[in-house]
Amino acid sequence: MPPDQPASQPTAPQPGAGQAPRLTDRTALLRGRARARRQGVVDLVHAIAMDEIEDRLAEVNRTFTDIAIVTGWPELWQARFPTARIVADEAVLDLAPASWDLVIHALALHWADDPVGQLIQCRTALRPDGLLLAVLPGGETLAGLREALSAAEIARTGGLSPHVLPMGDVRELGGLLGRVGLALTVADVMPLTLSYQSLIHLGRELRAMGEGNALLHRRRQPLRRDVLSEASARYQTAHRDPNDASRVLARIDLLFLTGWAPAPGQQQPLRPGSAKMPLAAALNVRPA
């Protein structure tokens, strides 16, 4: 029997229709992921994201039976969610409409040229009252690395090229959830602080995560030694580890986006101003 179809749903984008400007060099991204696999993937951020998703799902009073996970790292996520169907993070997702009660977009949305299109496709794939849970780096992730590399390149060459992927703001990304037709939306941030021997070691670990520079308009030549040395010195000064002055800190903000496909009888958020008593009265707080 075919799955129930929602009364109305956004239409998934079709190849070639309304394409967003390209940000990612897909070939370079896949090449970087393949290199990381050959040399041994550093999966720390994936493991943290998986733990957090499992904790959040445990708090939901639901049993999910049809799960799809959109990711560029099938071997990592399949091992943790063995009953899930893994879907490649292509521009057009291999997700049948109204077929899933849980879709997880796992640490891939930040590389999408059209993140809105990705969310629309995930929303369309959900059955009524199905859950979308997306996790991606955003916010202040690697802001210090971007600043150090940019300042060093300007100082040493007089030019500037992109080195670090632009990161989405949690409020803006959270706002997209409602725009694509999801209900009961929540967007929040898990900040992580990691310690490294130096900017050079941070760069090596990013490549081992498959998160090297895959921007379409990046400079194709290797970074000059004097630029790298300047950037490393600037980063060491600005982001020294207070517990070990010989090391540096890096910040990664994991953004979690949650929303439900609308369904009859689903709990609805209150309209602003519809509360029947002041918050202080509800909390039994006396005025000062």
Quote the pLDDT of residue 271: 58
Strands 183-196, 244-260: parallel, antiparallel or unpaired by DSSP?
antiparallel
Quote the pLDDT of residue 288: 46
What is the rounded CA–CA span in Å between residue 134 and residue 55?
A: 14
Enumerate domains of the chain plus CATH numbers: 26-263 (3.40.50.150)
Confidence of residue 21 (pLDDT cuts 50, 70, 90): confident
The H or E element that residue 37 is part of is helix 26-39
Chain segment 142-176, per-residue pLDDT in tens = 999 999 999 999 999 999 999 999 999 999 999 99
What is the rounded CA–CA span in Å between residue 153 and residue 150?
A: 5
Q: What tokens appear for 204 in the block?
A: 């090596």
Place of tokens 């000059």: 224
Chain segment 174-219, per-residue pLDDT in tens = 999 999 999 999 999 999 999 999 999 999 999 999 999 999 999 8
- The sign one gets for the Cα dihedral 178, 179, 182, 188 is negative
Chain segment 211-232, per-residue pLDDT in tens = 999 999 998 888 999 999 999 9
Chain segment 100-128, per-residue pLDDT in tens = 999 999 999 999 999 999 999 999 999 99
What is the rounded CA–CA span in Å between residue 101 and residue 88?
A: 18
Confidence of residue 91 (pLDDT cuts 50, 70, 90): very high
Confidence of residue 9 (pLDDT cuts 50, 70, 90): very low
CA atoms within 13 A on the CB side of 176: 21
Quote the pLDDT of residue 133: 98
129: left (phi over 0), alpha (psi -120 to 50) or beta: left
What is the rounded CA–CA span in Å between residue 29 and residue 55?
A: 30
Chain segment 255-275, per-residue pLDDT in tens = 999 999 999 988 765 555 544
* DSSP tag of 110: G
Q: What average pLDDT does the structure give for the chain?
A: 89
Quote the pLDDT of residue 59: 94
Please classify residue 264 by burial: count the beta carbons closer than 10 Å to its beta carbon, then call 0-12 exposed, 13-18 middle and 19+ buried.
exposed
Angle among Cα 67, 72, 78 to the nearest 5 degrees reads 45
DSSP bridge partners of 251: 193
Q: What tokens appear for 151 in the block?
A: 């300042």
Quote the pLDDT of residue 269: 59
Strands 244-260, 240-241: parallel, antiparallel or unpaired by DSSP?
antiparallel
Which positions ≥6 away from 33 have C-beta within 8 Å? 72, 73, 210
What is the rounded CA–CA span in Å between residue 164 and residue 143?
A: 8
